[in-house]
Amino acid sequence: MQRYPRDFRGHGQNPPDAAWPNGAKIAISLVLNYEEGGENNILHGDGQSEAFLSDIAGAAPWPNQRHWNMESLYDYGARAGFWRLHRLFTGLNIPVTIYGVATALARNPEQVAAMKSAGWEIASHGLKWVDHRDMPQAEERAQIAEAIRLHTEVVGTPPRGWYTGRCSLNTVDLTAETGQFDWISDTYDDDLPYWREVGARDQLVIPYTLEANDMRFATAPGYTDGEQFYTYLKDSFDTLYAEGAAGQAKMFSVGLHCRLIGRPGKIAGLKRFLDYARSHEAVWFPRRIEIAEHWAKTHPHQRFARPSQMDRAGFVASFGSIFEHSPWIAERAFDLELGPAHDSALGLHNALARMFRSASPAERLAVLTAHPDLAGKLAAAKRLTAESTAEQSSAALDALTDAERDRFQSLNAAYTAKHGFPFIIAVRDHDKASILAAFETRIGHDTVTEFATACAQVERIAELRLKALLP
């Protein structure tokens, strides 16, 4: 058994209506990362200086040394950048979510007091602003627990949201397992929140952004001035706002850092964007906790039996009858590289159809001959499968006149005698009249053409059956 963990389907072709409060066409989540005092530094017990997200081009870590210039750039974020941003947001009465590194919050009590006074949400940004990529799972779990403890001690309340940033493959599951968080944001994979099942936990994920993010002032290719940042934010806003006006409201995350956007030349672009966004009606500026509360109320999670998580017996029992009397197709499909993409009707149909298409001509013929005649003797004797009974009933084939029944039986006999398999059609796509019309047309085709047509109809029947079972 092979299972593929990545989820390429997400909300699918028809995402849910966000139904933001008061008919908002867009939800703009402004996030201010507070990392100053939590970055790599030998003063913090690390083995080197910080080298990430600063205005030092090509910065590299200094092993076993303090990096005075790097420290001073981070210090600017706390000493000047934060307060410039605080004045901006409080002056506009726009709430923000803080991603607060616990050790940084502990070293910056006046800034924490200002965050609380402004009514900002203070979420956890981990214990330290360091890379978790190679961190052993047990150590990361312990650091998450300590981040929660220290955050609660410093802020006065436990964090309800989490974002690590420099995360590991295990971070999302480890944070979800705590049961602590109304939301986590260590993903960048959608424009809407979604639910993730981690054991018994239904965890809400609110995706974040690395592109509508001032970090690109410090990375290449990136922004060189505030106008470029403004242009990118405006273009993103315009696209999402138009989608919202068309009934597909989305979320727009904007990532900020005190030491970056807090510089005078950079913050000018942010100011222009906020003025632009506020000039539109039906724009919501929520904290992420408000997005989480709204989503949990409006779109609560509903679990269902996921094909990719079933054992073999359960999988075959659930889907062995999708192709008429041919459980071997489900048996073979179970051994494919199934994943979240196959937990929908269309996804699982693709997996089952692959096994049908790759089967030998004799095996596919056996699937065709397993199908009953339309309105035939098995139907009259009530010996059809439950699926076939419901399908034939949907086209009123169980309520034929004597003349109609005679016509069907005559066509059945002639078709089978000519082609060697019964006439197959996805009756849920038709009514009685169109079925008869197709019957009388197709009986004249050559057998090669009809074999291909019948196989395509078998796949269509399987698709409709799956749509009755899965999202």
CB count in 10 Å sphere of residue 246? 9
Which token pair is 42?
Answer: 């030998």
Residue 390 C-beta-side C-alpha neighbours within 13 Å: 7
Asked about 151 being catalytic, the answer comes back as no
Which token pair is 57?
Answer: 């081009």
Residue among 342, 349, 371, 419 flagged as catalytic: 371
- Please enumerate in sequence order all residues whose Cβ is within 8 A of that of 195, keeping only pairs 6 or more positions apart, or say none: 202, 203, 204, 205, 301
CB count in 10 Å sphere of residue 276? 14
Query: Can you say how many angstroms the Cα of residue 104 is from the centroid of all Cα atoms in its chain?
Result: 31
Backbone angles phi, psi at 257, to 5 degrees: -135, 135
Q: Do the beta carbons of residue 194 and residue 181 sit within 8 Å?
A: no
Q: How far apart are CA 152 and CA 142, in angstroms?
A: 15
Match 């019964």 to its residue by tokens.
422
The string of DSSP letters for 397-465 reads: TTS--HHHHHHHHHHHHHHHHHHSS-----GGG--HHHHHHHHHHHTTS-HHHHHHHHHHHHHHHHHHH
Classify each residue of 15-49 as buried b or exposed e, where b means 16 or more C-beta atoms within 10 Å of its C-beta.
beebebeeebbbbbbbbbbbbbbbbbbeebebebb
Rg from Cα positions in the chain: 30
Q: Do the beta carbons of residue 175 and residue 181 sit within 8 Å?
A: yes
Angstrom CA distances, 457 to 32, 351, 428, stand at: 55, 16, 11
Match 């008919």 to its residue by tokens.
23
Q: How far apart are CA 341 and CA 307, in angstroms?
A: 10
Residues forming the active site: 371
